[in-house]
Chain A
């Protein structure tokens, strides 16, 4: 929220109140400008603050986290300032996660890692620290000392039923609402073409990789050099059946 925009400065209660008052009187445009000025990530986007950019296009920027959980920890952000995910138009959401997927793929190939975590925090209770929406992409290796805790609780049947009803109704209603939009801009778009392009690019490389994998089995120990020859199927299939 905007009143929390100045974390680096300690302010007195009165100053905070004055600021809150000022913010209340701002027009939406002014507010947006204000947020942008206060947001360090907007300054990274505009280039006023230096960063290690690994990817950029018209709408999205991806930079290395300066306090990484692991080497290659990437922040993927929309250039536009949004605080949380529900504020973002869905085309932008889709694009952000396409970039995330591509970067995950790139980190498997570039960094010799065996997996990745994708984390979004919406709200302080969820662990959000920055005011600018971002996706964390954290490359993962065995024994890298990262321990995420997602406890498993036994949720009573009644509670499950209640939540299911509330959410499915809410989502069902939304689906109807957005039906008009969906026919104009359907979610399934030219799937065939996209896939065909993808295959064309990928297949020759994949074959080359398989050969490399075979070589590796013969010359164990020198596997690390062949980082680029990573085979996605290896990472996928090692998971075993579902």
Chain B
């Protein structure tokens, strides 16, 4: 299990910090947000420590969103709401505040003070085409992962092979970052 001492979410996963758990399996934990936007607002979290979505391995990511979907259904069935949002903030400009990837599942009612709308920006056809081409090219490079539909539960031995993230790397990185700032 990839964990980090300094991460609050990892502490919650390890049961060292109490939380309102609503779902748990080998890879994923879901807890209620005690300062949620609405009652039932919850976080779906990978048990392993990954700061951003790009770092979450495909199998774990698939499980996370599968769980988020189950929770969304459970919210519809149990909490008398009129909708749900799935919301992910990935990176600081996107509003991410905790360095542990998480999916917000938010129950919605009319006029509940939540706003996930945006103002449309006007782009020229040229700009749109440039963006289209750049994305098309990069998605080829990145590739889309496939989940093999075969039976293969993760064994303890395999789990043990995953090396822990060293905190040193991160410290080094912060040192480098501070040096880069003029």
Question: Which residues of chain A have a CB within 8 Å of any CB of chain B?
Answer: 52-55, 57, 64, 67-72, 74, 85-86, 88, 90-91, 93-99, 101-111, 113-128, 135, 138, 140-142, 144-155, 159-161, 163-164, 166-168, 170-172, 174-175, 183-195, 198, 201, 217, 220, 228, 232-233, 235-242
Q: How far is the CB of B115 from chain A (nearest CB, A)?
A: 4
Question: Which residues of chain B have a CB within 8 Å of any CB of chain A?
Answer: 4, 6-10, 20-23, 25-27, 30, 32, 34-40, 42, 49-63, 65-66, 69-79, 81-96, 98-100, 104, 106, 108-110, 112-121, 123, 127-129, 131-132, 134-139, 141-154, 158, 170, 173-174, 176-177, 179-180, 182
| B99 A149 Cβ-Cβ under 8 A | no
Contact A86 B76, CB 8 Å, known A122-B83, A171-B71: yes
Distance of A138 Cα from B118 Cα, bound (Å):
10
Instruction: Give which listed residue, A93, A104, A167, contacts B65 with CB less than 8 A.
Output: A93
Instruction: Give which listed residue, B30, B55, B150, contacts A236 with CB less than 8 A.
Output: B55
For A69, the closest partner residue in chain B by CB is: B118
For A120, the closest partner residue in chain B by CB is: B86
Please name all residues of chain B whose beta carbon is closer than 8 Å to the beta carbon of A149 when the two chains form the complex. Answer: 113-116
Please name all residues of chain B whose beta carbon is closer than 8 Å to the beta carbon of A242 when the two chains form the complex. Answer: 4, 6-10, 49, 98-100
| B93 A52 Cβ-Cβ under 8 A | no
Distance of A162 Cα from B76 Cα, bound (Å):
15
Q: How far is the CB of B107 from chain A (nearest CB, A)?
A: 9
| B90 A188 Cβ-Cβ under 8 A | no
Distance of A108 Cα from B49 Cα, bound (Å):
21
Please name all residues of chain B whose beta carbon is closer than 8 Å to the beta carbon of A126 when the two chains form the complex. Answer: 82-85, 106, 108, 116
Distance of A74 Cα from B139 Cα, bound (Å):
12
Please name all residues of chain A whose beta carbon is closer than 8 Å to the beta carbon of B30 when the two chains form the complex. Answer: 171
Q: A155-B35, A194-B146 are in contact. List 17 more A-B contacts (CB 8 A).
A: A104-B90, A111-B134, A127-B83, A140-B94, A144-B93, A150-B104, A151-B114, A155-B39, A174-B74, A186-B151, A187-B59, A191-B158, A192-B158, A239-B52, A239-B91, A241-B99, A241-B170
Q: Which 5 A-B pairs give the minimum distances between C-beta atoms?
A: A115-B91, A123-B83, A242-B7, A126-B83, A67-B120
